[in-house]
Amino acid sequence: MTSFLAPIEDALQVLTTTLPVVESARHVRIESGQVEDVAKRVAEVAKSAPVWQDDLHFRDGTWKTAGWVLVLDALNFCFWSSDPDPVQRWRVEYRGQLHDGYWALVAALRRATDEGRPMWDPFYLVQLTARDVAHILRPHDLNFPEIPLLPLRVQNIRELGQRLIDSYPDHNPVIGLIEDCQRSAATLVQHVAARFPSFNDVAMYDGEPVRFYKRAQILVADLHGAFGGESLGAFDDLDQLTAFADYKVPQVLRRFGLLTYSDELATKIERRQLIPPGSTEEIEIRAATVWACELLRQALTRSGSPLRAFEVDWALWTAGQSLPPDARPYHRTFTVFY
């Protein structure tokens, strides 16, 4: 039996504040009858989903890894191209292989560290010029466009460096931020959202705030993955994280039949029309994504294959990396939050 009841302990208030959206949504519906079947598919994908520790992410086991991950997630948004030709998108070459999307960002930052740039150091980040950031995130060649929303990425990276320095003037700022949270994932999400405006992912729906905290939550999950759950990646309450409401996971949930859209919204997405950030449609897509993943989490627990919400998200995102060419497109929203 699926349950649309927010948990008693909901430190981030993501499930609590997205629930009224799901209950009154006009454009997006969760097909509760599909939960059990989709949960089985998620369980199968999760068995083969790659772990965070691949060869592309930077990891050295020290605070530098955490600093590098902070930069990664300060820039982890909006990789899609507005060009109707899917080939015409930002791509980065690293060690002889072309990457696009999120993996292009990982490759660009790894390339930067190979070039001797200390991407983990807040004191270095605040000195970066727009030209520096453009070079760090440069595409493979002039045949490919630059990364979308480049000026906002420049702003985010400098904001990250400056506010880390200002918050911890007498300590290593990266270590200080994480250790301040005393192994609490929820506290780190809250601290990051409060201190860095670019991470403060809160929308308004019918006059009420709706919390998503997509990049702040994925930051915690990435730290957990980068350190194998130890040291600066050790958290005692990872169960408090929800799914990371973006554009790829709802695309997969829709393909699996767990999300359905109104004819009006479906037509806009099919035509690749922009869905404005903060619009009713966009908030409903994201809220339904959070709750669809929560229902899958509940179903997996009942079936004896428990996954935490961020692990459900990871399995769905992984499935989204190999969708066939005829898959229905994802919604397109220009935003720094995903």
- The set of catalytic residues is 246
- Amino acid making up residue 62: T
Nearest to 152 by CA among 89, 218, 212, 75: 75
Residue 272 CA to chain centroid, in angstroms? 21
DSSP 142-164: TTSPPPTTHHHHHHHHHHHHHHH
Helix (H), strand (E) at residue 101: helix 101-114
CB atoms within 10 A of CB 336: 20
Across-strand partners of 211? 202
Going by the DSSP 8-state scheme, the letter that residue 17 receives in this structure is H
Judge contact between 249 and 243, C-beta under 8 A.
Answer: yes
Structure tokens given for 127: 């000195």
- Amino acid making up residue 337: F
Inter-axis angle of helices 309-320 and 214-226, nearest 10:
90
* CA 296/CA 315 separation, integer angstroms: 11
CA distances from 297 to 93, 125, 321, 337 (A): 36, 38, 21, 24
The length of the chain in residues reads 338
